[in-house]
Amino acid sequence: MRRLIVTEFMTLDGVVEAPGGEPTHPHAGWTMPYGTDALYAFKLRETMEAESLLLGRKTFEGFSAAWPGRDGEFADKMNAMPKLVAASGTGDLGWNATRIQGDVRTAVADLKEGDGGPILVAGSATLVRSLLVWGLVDELRLLTYPVMVGGGLRIFPDDREKWSFELAELERFDSGAVLHVYRLAGS
């Protein structure tokens, strides 16, 4: 059985949109002042441990435009990893990616039942919200930055359901960013 790990850059007010400078938000790039060597080392370790990526359409489009032209250990891993994308359509996605065929919930559940290493989900707010509701997330890695941006995309469902998690890890970076790693209680 494979673990599905959601990793998100998040503001204090829960926004995950435009952490790296994407043009979708007036405060895009809000993570930039808080990067540290230790934080980048964590992201590299996390990526190196993953066997594949699961992405929503918008995140896939952003990543596939940004990463193929880069080099280095992180970029090499991002470019080489197989990717599964929740996107409609039939055309070839390129960038070592396969489009989910049929029901996304069933396809992800089947993927988790297979053999292999961790499946990493980055960004992909709409997809993550669904994965949480469907109970398919094994671990949440929330890298919270000491900034509020007043609104934007969030990953948390607004369905009044209660979900209990256990704090598995906590790390504070010198910039004030904090990594919270949560696992579903009882799993």
Range with lowest mean pLDDT among 18-22, 36-40, 45-49, 113-117: 18-22
Q: How far apart are CA 129 and CA 134, in angstroms?
A: 9
The per-residue pLDDT for 106 is: 97
Band of residue 159 on the pLDDT scale cut at 50, 70, 90: confident
The per-residue pLDDT for 37 is: 97
Q: Is the pLDDT of residue 90 over 70?
A: yes
The per-residue pLDDT for 126 is: 95
Nearest to 131 by CA among 143, 145, 120: 120
Q: Is the pLDDT of residue 76 over 70?
A: yes
Q: How far apart are CA 117 and CA 2, in angstroms?
A: 6
Helix axes 37-49, 73-80, angle to 10 degrees: 30
Residue-wise burial string across 68-98, b where 16 or more C-beta atoms lie within 10 A, e elsewhere: eeeeeeeeebbbebebbbbbeeeeebebebe
Cα torsion through 65, 69, 73, 74, rounded to 10: -20
Q: How far apart are CA 108 and CA 53, in angstroms?
A: 12
Q: Is the pLDDT of residue 187 over 70?
A: no
Q: Model's pTM, two decimal places?
A: 0.95
